[in-house]
Amino acid sequence: MSINNYLNKYCRSWIMAKVSPSILAADFSSLGKEVYRVGKAADMIHFDVMDGLFVPNITFGPAVLASIRRHTALPIEAHLMIQKPSGFLDRFAVSGATFITVHVEADSSIRTLKRIRELGALPGIALNPSTPVSAVKPALGHVSLVLVMTVNPGFGGQGFIMSSISRIRQIRSMILEQDLDVLIEVDGGINLDTAKKAVGAGADVLVAGSYVYGSRNPAQAINALKKLKCKDI
């Protein structure tokens, strides 16, 4: 068993949660500054890509990712909430994405996940709240990250779906069974209370939009989330 999975199994008491602010909640008129002002506290930047088809909203494309890449050295996760992600992998990789996450509902093929890795990015797989957890199992050995949507994708500011907690636990169990080094990320409705529940269930990375960018002090909000540990739950 790897060291990460050993710690996952026996309560990672000295490992803090990682925080990935979602720029979906940032001020779009100055994204460079918005990324910079969370950069010293954040572990990653979450970049939501929506096409108006897979979800009922339209957000950013590869050119915007390339522009914010110039303002941060942090890992950037391109979360592709789009119908045909395979046609955009090259462009997001070239634009500077560290992780490229595709939805199991759109494309969970091993070929797509392998292509992401070939492009020099880390592959992730995401699933919506209504999708059975078992849908990600075939992909687990080919990804670096599983993103559990804790709201219905498409818009920020939604409330955390509490049934997600059992889904996080199920995915953590699958990862342990296969002895894999795979991060579990949660996205949607994250605040200090819901983050405690998610980390306690086995989440590694907290995507926080409104909680961070709606705060008077985004760095302080991030640091409060990062202090969460398994032993504190």
Could you give the C-alpha distances from 86 to 39, 93, 103, 113, 217, in angstroms and in order?
A: 29, 12, 11, 9, 38
H/E run at residue 183: strand 183-187
Q: Is position 51 annotated as part of the catalytic site?
A: no
Q: Which residue among 51, 107, 187, 204 is the active-site one? A: 187
Rounded CA separation 46/148 (Å): 14
Rounded CA separation 18/232 (Å): 15
137 with 174: CB under 8 angstroms? yes
Q: Which residue among 43, 48, 107, 204 is the active-site one? A: 48
Rounded CA separation 57/116 (Å): 24
Other Cβ atoms within 10 Å of 227 Cβ, number: 11
CA angle, corner 164, sides to 208 and 141, nearest 5? Answer: 90
- Judged by DSSP in three states, 115 sits in helix
Q: Is position 48 annotated as part of the catalytic site?
A: yes
Beta-bridge partners for 125: 102, 146
Q: Which residues are marked as active site?
A: 48, 187
